[in-house]
């Protein structure tokens, strides 16, 4: 379940740019042989169906109100500081449409918002109502106010959907045509210079596209025990690739990072992750163990699959502190796939990468490097501080946002 401020998390302009970049990235990774041999319209339809947006609609008749939690709250009055009960009700509705639109600020909007919780798997949206007594009329008034604050902008965002869908379809058509022409020209060039292509071998150009996937679960031969889902190495690599490719793309578009804080930059990655995988939710500022971590990818039963922290680069010592923070405060024994994402403003980006590569092995939890790294994405294996035999995959990724 994702907790957000309704219709105020990302501007419609940034949302469109991120979405189109994701589409371009996905199309560019389609395997050459698959692209030329499969029905182009079938491929195009699959991607179009994945990205087209649906207008939001709240089913107000589906309203369900959970049994409240009752908390103690301090307040000031003429007698000094006193305590009183506060009733906290969770009000739930089902909805239709693309849940990501709950985050988007439309170009024309009413200046109101409310904290809401969305569950894309169950297609429910909720908000909390607090009241200090058992006055029915007051509760209904508070609930209606919260409803209006949360959902007034649905009409405004729905007005944007048709225009966005036109741009999405046009982008998909253009990218398909460009890729097809590239591959056709490529084959014509190879034929002209007498390059023999073995059709029985895997394409040497790009890996097969990774579609949305159901997170694999561990098999358990004892039916009385529940199996616990874990993130496969393939999916972990896909998550890291999504983050790396998206971050590199943002480096070329200062409007996506200029003047933004850690939370705003984090949301650029969160947006892509939360729409990519079936049966998972991606949340930000989520409690895990002893604190809130920036990005958590969860299976729909609440199991953690991936944990990441985002930081502005402040030198080697702060990098080592960030690793300690991630391992000491946020990771549990069940967490094994992690990442640290650094936003680097320094002009000398090469020197920063050298500092990372030389500094990470100094950490007390470090075990070894893990395979071949990308230009600014370094792979390591660490141990969990409370269990030295528990190995953790850690990816340290840096992006150059120098404005």
Alpha-carbon Rg for the chain, nearest whole angstrom, is 24
Q: Residue length, the chain?
A: 403
**What is the distance between the alpha carbons of residues 113 and 178, in angstroms, rounded to a whole number?**
41
Lowest mean pLDDT among 35-44, 128-137, 261-270, 283-292: 283-292
* Among candidate residues 299, 295, 277, the one with its CA nearest the CA of residue 285: 295
Burial pattern 221-257, b for ≥16 Cβ within 10 A else e, equals eeeeeeeebbbeeebbbbbbbbbbbbbbbbbeeeebb
- Quick check: 83 and 99 in contact, CB under 8 A? no
State how beta strands 10-11 and 337-344 pair.
Answer: unpaired
State how beta strands 304-312 and 57-65 pair.
Answer: unpaired
**390-399: per-residue pLDDT in tens?**
888 999 999 9
**77-130: per-residue pLDDT in tens?**
777 777 778 889 999 999 999 999 999 999 998 999 999 999 877 889 999 999
**334-364: per-residue pLDDT in tens?**
777 899 999 999 888 899 999 999 999 999 9
Helix (H) or strand (E) holding 309: strand 304-312
Lowest mean pLDDT among 166-175, 232-241, 328-337: 328-337
Cα 223 to chain centroid distance, Å, stands at: 33
């Amino acid at each position: 379940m994702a907790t957000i401020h309704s219709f105020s998390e990302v501007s419609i302009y940034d949302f469109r740019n991120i979405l189109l970049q994701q589409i371009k990235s996905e199309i560019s990774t389609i395997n050459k042989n698959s692209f030329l041999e499969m029905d182009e319209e079938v491929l195009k339809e699959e991607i179009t169906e994945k990205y087209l947006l649906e207008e939001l609609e709240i089913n107000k008749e589906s309203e369900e109100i959970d049994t409240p939690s009752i908390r103690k709250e301090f307040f000031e009055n003429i007698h000094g500081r006193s305590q009183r009960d506060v009733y906290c009700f969770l009000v739930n509705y089902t909805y239709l449409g693309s849940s990501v639109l709950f985050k988007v600020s439309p170009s024309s909007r009413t200046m109101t918002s409310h904290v809401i919780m969305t569950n894309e798997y169950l297609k429910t949206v909720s908000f909390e109502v607090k009241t200090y007594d058992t006055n029915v009329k007051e509760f209904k008034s508070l609930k209606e106010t919260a409803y209006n604050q949360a959902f007034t902008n649905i009409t405004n965002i729905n007005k944007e959907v048709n225009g966005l869908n036109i741009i999405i379809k046009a982008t998909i058509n253009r990218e398909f045509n460009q890729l097809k022409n590239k591959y056709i020209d490529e084959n014509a060039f190879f034929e002209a210079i007498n390059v023999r292509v073995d059709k029985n071998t895997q394409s040497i150009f790009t890996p097969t596209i990774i579609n949305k996937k159901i997170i694999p679960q561990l098999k358990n031969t004892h039916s009385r025990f529940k199996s616990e889902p874990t993130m496969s190495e393939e999916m972990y690599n896909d998550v890291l690739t999504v983050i790396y490719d998206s971050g590199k793309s943002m480096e070329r578009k200062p409007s996506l990072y200029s003047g933004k804080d850690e939370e705003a930059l984090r949301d650029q990655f969160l947006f892509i992750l939360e729409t990519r995988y079936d049966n998972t939710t991606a949340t930000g500022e989520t409690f895990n163990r002893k604190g809130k971590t920036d990005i958590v990818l969860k299976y729909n039963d609440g199991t953690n699959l991936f944990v990441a922290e985002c930081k502005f680069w402040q030198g080697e010592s702060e990098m080592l502190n960030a690793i300690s923070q991630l391992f000491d405060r946020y990771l549990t024994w069940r967490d094994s796939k992690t990442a640290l994402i650094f936003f680097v403003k320094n002009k000398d980006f090469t020197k920063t990468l050298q500092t990372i590569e030389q500094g990470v092995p100094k950490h007390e939890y470090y075990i070894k490097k893990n395979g071949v790294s990308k230009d600014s994405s370094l792979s390591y294996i660490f141990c969990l501080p409370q269990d030295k035999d528990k190995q953790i995959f850690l990816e340290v990724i840096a992006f150059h946002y120098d404005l």
